[in-house]
């Protein structure tokens, strides 16, 4: 493994339990952080729904990635971004979210994409 460093932007844009992609994205975030890359995580579109506290998972075989979100801090993933328009479109309030996050408008999201060396959009 080289000591190079890249800006990696990982985007979660699928809702909880909709597909394996959100979990795949989170695993990339944790691995990139472990390899000391400069990683940002953006919850985009329906992905913002991961930030709601979920009541039970017994009836679902899919991993509830919301439970893993608090561990992001341990991995020093501090750049958590959130799609402000998606929050509004789903009538969600900031104070009901599991994690504090930086709210971005479309132009800022576009800039975050432009600034990244690599984007994983899962």
Interface residues toward another protein, by CB under 8 A: 1-2, 4, 6, 8, 13, 15-21, 24, 27-28, 31-32, 34-35, 37, 44-46, 49, 52-57, 59-64, 66, 88-91, 106-107, 109-110, 113-122
What radius of gyration do the chain's Cα atoms show? 14
Separation CA 3–CA 18 (nearest Å): 36
Supply the minimum distance, in Å, between the C-beta of residue 83 and another protein.
9
Task: Take residue 2 and report the two structure tokens written for it.
Answer: 């080289």
Give me the helices (H) in the chain, please: 21-34, 71-74, 84-89, 106-115
Supply the minimum distance, in Å, between the C-beta of residue 114 and another protein.
5
Place of tokens 């932007």: 9
By C-beta, is 61 or 74 nearer to another protein? 61
Supply the minimum distance, in Å, between the C-beta of residue 78 and another protein.
18
Beta bridge partners of 7: 38
> Under DSSP, is residue 41 helix (H, G, I), strand (E, B) or coil?
strand
By C-beta, is 59 or 95 nearer to another protein? 59
Supply the minimum distance, in Å, between the C-beta of residue 39 and another protein.
9
Separation CA 35–CA 57 (nearest Å): 31
By C-beta, is 47 or 80 nearer to another protein? 47
By C-beta, is 32 or 80 nearer to another protein? 32
């Amino acid at each position: 493994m080289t000591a190079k460093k890249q800006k990696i932007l990982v985007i979660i844009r699928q809702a909880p339990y909709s597909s394996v992609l959100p979990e795949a994205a989170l695993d990339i975030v944790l691995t990139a952080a472990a390899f000391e890359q400069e990683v940002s995580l953006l919850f985009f579109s329906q992905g913002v729904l991961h930030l709601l506290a979920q009541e039970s998972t017994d009836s679902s075989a899919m991993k509830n990635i919301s439970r893993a979100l608090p561990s992001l801090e341990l991995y020093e993933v501090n750049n958590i971004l959130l799609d402000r328009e998606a929050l509004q479109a789903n009538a969600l309030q900031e104070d009901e979210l599991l994690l504090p996050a930086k709210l971005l408008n479309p132009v800022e999201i576009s800039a975050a994409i432009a600034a990244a060396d690599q984007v994983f959009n899962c």
